[in-house]
Amino acid sequence: MPDSEVKENFDIKNLTSFKIGGAIKKAYFPKSISEFEEIYNYEPAAQVFGNLSNTLVSSSGYDGTVIITTGINEIIINGRSVYAGCGVKGPKLAQTAAKNGLSGFEFMIGFPGSLGGNVFMNASAHGQCISDKLVKVKCFSKEKGLFELNKDEMEFSYRTSICQKESIIILGAEFELTPANPEEIQAKMDENLGFRKTHQPSLALPNCGSVFRNPDGDSAGRLLEAAGAKKLSAGGVHVWENHANFIINSDNGSSLDVLELMYKMYMSVKEKFGIELKPEVRFLGGNNLREGELCKILNIK
C-alpha cells in the first residue's frame, strides 16, 4: 500500500470546475513524482487527472481509482529556464515568471487548468501556446515508466500532442522563456484577463471552458451561434448567453444534463452545416448507460 494520501468513496464534485460529480471509489493525492510512481505501480488501472478543469465526472460516480496530481506543484527557475510540476496552475506559473522578468506564459494568467493538462492539449490563447517555449517534458507510461520527450517528440498541433495517441502522462515540463520588463509582462497579463472576463464566463459560473474544438478554418462558437445553440438547455444546465461554446451549470445540473446538452449542440451544427464538432471535454464515469451512449456519439474519450 503506497504511503500517500488516499480517500475512499471520495466526493469529487467540489474539485471540478463544473461542480458536478459523484463518489470516486478511491482517490490518491501524491505530492511528488516518486509518490506518483509508487501509486501507479500499485494501481496500474488508475485514471490520472490534474485540476479537473475540462473534465466532466459522472453524477453516478466512478467505481475505479483516480490519481489527482495537483500536489506535484514545484516551480524551479534558473536564469531563463523554468521547470514546473504538472500540478502547477496556469495563473501561478504566469505570475511567478512575470515576477522574475520572464515572458512566455502571459496567456495562462486566466487558465483554470494545471500545467499537465495545458501541455497535454497544447493549450493556447492570445497568440501564444504552451509549446512555444517548451524544451522537454517529464513523462510516464505503463510501458516505459519515467522518461523524457523533447518538443519535437511531443508532436504538438492544435489542441493535441502525442499524449492522446500513446496514453502518456505528463508529470512536469521545462521551458526556456524570454527576459522582458516585468511591468510590460504584467500589462499583457492584465490585457489577457480583461479579454477573458468579457469573452468567457467567470468560474463563479460553474463551467468547463470551451465545450468543442474549433474546426479547421472556422470557430465552434460561430457555428453554434449560427445554429441557434444559445437557446438550448437541458435540466439544470444551459448554453451561456454571451458565447455559444460554453455550458453553464446554473441549477445543480447533472453530468447527464451536460451530455444531453452537448448532444443538442452537436446536432444543431451537424444539421445546419454538416460539420461534426469534436469535444474538448473529457469524461469520467461508466455507471450510466445513457451517458455511455452519448459519449460514443460525441466521441468523448
CATH 3.90.78.10 domain range(s) in the chain? 220-298
Give the β-pairing of 102-103 and 134-141: unpaired
CATH topology of domain 6-68: 3.30.43
Separation between Cα atoms, residue 156 and residue 191, nearest integer Å = 27
For the entire predicted model, the pTM comes to 0.92
Q: Terminus-to-terminus CA distance in the chain, angstroms? A: 29
Active site residues: 159, 210, 280
Where do you find CATH 3.30.43.10 in the chain? 6-68
Which of 3.90.950.10, 3.30.428.10, 3.40.50.11540, 3.30.465.10 is the CATH number of 75-199?
A: 3.30.465.10
Burial of 143 (0-12, 13-18, 19+ CB in 10 A): exposed
**Local confidence pLDDT in tens for the 301 residues of the chain:** 677 789 999 999 999 999 999 999 999 999 999 999 999 999 999 999 999 999 999 999 999 999 999 999 999 999 999 999 999 999 999 999 999 999 999 999 988 889 999 999 999 888 889 999 999 999 999 999 999 999 999 999 988 899 988 989 999 999 999 999 999 999 999 999 998 888 889 878 999 999 999 999 999 999 999 999 999 999 999 999 999 999 999 999 999 999 999 999 999 999 999 999 999 999 999 889 999 999 999 999 7
Residue 238 Ramachandran class (φ > 0 left, ψ -120 to 50 alpha, else beta): beta
Please tell me the number of Cα atoms within 13 Å of 87 on its side-chain side.
Answer: 16
**Is residue 241 a contact partner of residue 264, using CB atoms and an 8 Å limit?**
no
Give span(s): CATH 3.30.465.10, the chain. 75-199
- CATH code matching the domain that covers 220-298, chosen among 1.10.760.10, 3.40.50.300, 3.90.78.10, 3.40.1410.10: 3.90.78.10
Residue whose C-alpha cell is 441557434: 228
